[in-house]
Amino acid sequence: MKKKRSLIILSVLLVMSMLLAACGGSKGGNGSSTSNAQNGSAAAGGEVKTVKIFQFKTEIVEGLNELKVEFEKEHPNIKLDIQTVGGGADYAAALKTKFASGDAPDIFSNGGFAELDMWQDKIEDLSDQPWVKDLVPLAAEPMTKDGKVYGMPMNLEGIGYVYNKDLFAKAGITETPKTITELEEAAKKLQQIGVTPFGNAYQEWWLLGNQGISTAFARQDNVDEFIKGLNEGTATIVGNEQFKNWSNLLNLTVKYGQKNPLTTDANTHLAMFASGEVAMMQEGNWAQTLIDNITPNMNIGMFPLPIDDDAEKNDKLTVGIPANLVVNKDSASKEEAKIFLNWLVTSDLGKEYIVKKWKFIPALTTIPATSEDIGQLGADVKKYVDENKVYGLQSSKFPDGVTQEFASAIQELIAGKVDEGGWMANMQAAWDKLKK
């Protein structure tokens, strides 16, 4: 009896060992077949790869980190390392340092046009990606060269004067100003009710030398020919009518603005605006979430920068692509980087974050966005885009480093260290120094 029981036990053990061997035979190099199924298959053999993302939009950091968690759940063998340098810091310099130190990111930001030319030998051609066919034409322009698309535009952004509709109504301003004369009249009415018309964050180089001055370029008869002329020495900023007009607008905002604009940063003018202390500020629709965090449901809108008394030409909003996400073509994780970019704009969660969390105006036709989703500022910008009443943001066409030099020259004008002629001469000198 004992012998029979022993034979049965031996038989059971033999069968179990055979089953275990069979299971072992289906193992991959890093574990069981069950483990491999859970770990996904984007990297060969279940290898975990890290995608380093280096970008500058500080207002989306929280959302990006939340998306990182969800993306990694769906793609366990791809890890995201997200780093942000922005909020007035010099992203371009930081990016160059990353590459020079051997810590090049797998995904990074690029403005397109001249910036694309500067970095093209490092950027992967993304023309074969599934989202390319869905790009809004305006959004595709900065990163398209010789028929190829080299970057994913994050969104469309408008730049102009964000204004408090309730304060405008209280002051008896019934329409947004379309001329510089109307703007000054509005400023006087706001002063009469005890409100400072403008909150000026003129400490910020990007507000002056990148976004603000773009209007003077966009109003040229042919902006691309003008920029080409600056590069070739056949055109000049000195004495240019549109730059004179823009400086008149700048002076008007200083005249009707708060004290000490050169020591006022963006956070301060946002707080001043959200509290009702000032009625207008030069900003973009990205300010929606920042204002909402201070004063939810504030009644706000946006209108273009009027630099002269030509109402028709002034009634166009500056709209650009703040950043395009590009892939480092020398990256060992570039395929994983493409997987993330595709997921960002095609997954339901990614689309939801783009419009509802970040209040972005989508750069792809496949991402629906209602006015409620993108906020009052986004809705105003989208209206200008839909009506084709836009000027493109021109700063990505400038020589590398010129935006900061421009800002310094403009700040000297605000401080009264130079007159209009000296300012324009300094602007031209900055361009001449840095052009190729």
- Average pLDDT over the chain reads 90
384-416 burial, b at 16+ Cβ within 10 Å, e below that, comes to: bbeeeebbbbbbbbbbbebbbbbbebbbebbee
Look at residue 249 in the predicted model and tell me its pLDDT.
Answer: 98
CATH topology of domain 157-320+392-434: D-Maltodextrin-Binding Protein; domain 2 (3.40.190)
Note the pLDDT tens digit of each residue in 323-359: 899 999 999 999 999 999 999 999 999 999 999 999 9
Note the pLDDT tens digit of each residue in 152-194: 999 999 999 999 999 999 999 999 999 999 999 999 999 999 9
Q: Which two tokens stand for residue 136?
A: 């809004």
Asked if pLDDT for residue 38 goes beyond 60, the answer is no
Look at residue 17 in the predicted model and tell me its pLDDT.
Answer: 39
Please state the pTM of the whole predicted model.
Answer: 0.83
pLDDT grade for 45, boundaries at 50, 70 and 90: low
The percentage of the chain sitting over the pLDDT mark of 70, rounded to a whole number, equals 90
* Lowest mean pLDDT segment, chosen from 22-31, 117-126, 402-411, 417-426: 22-31
Asked if pLDDT for residue 21 goes beyond 70, the answer is no
Look at residue 9 in the predicted model and tell me its pLDDT.
Answer: 37
pLDDT grade for 90, boundaries at 50, 70 and 90: confident
Note the pLDDT tens digit of each residue in 219-242: 999 999 999 999 999 999 999 999
Helical residues (DSSP H) of 113-240, grouped into ranges: 114-119, 137-140, 165-170, 180-192, 205, 214-218, 223-232
The structural domains of the chain, with segments of one domain joined by +, span 49-155+322-367, 157-320+392-434
Asked if pLDDT for residue 26 goes beyond 60, the answer is no
Where does 49-155+322-367 sit in CATH, by number? 3.40.190.10
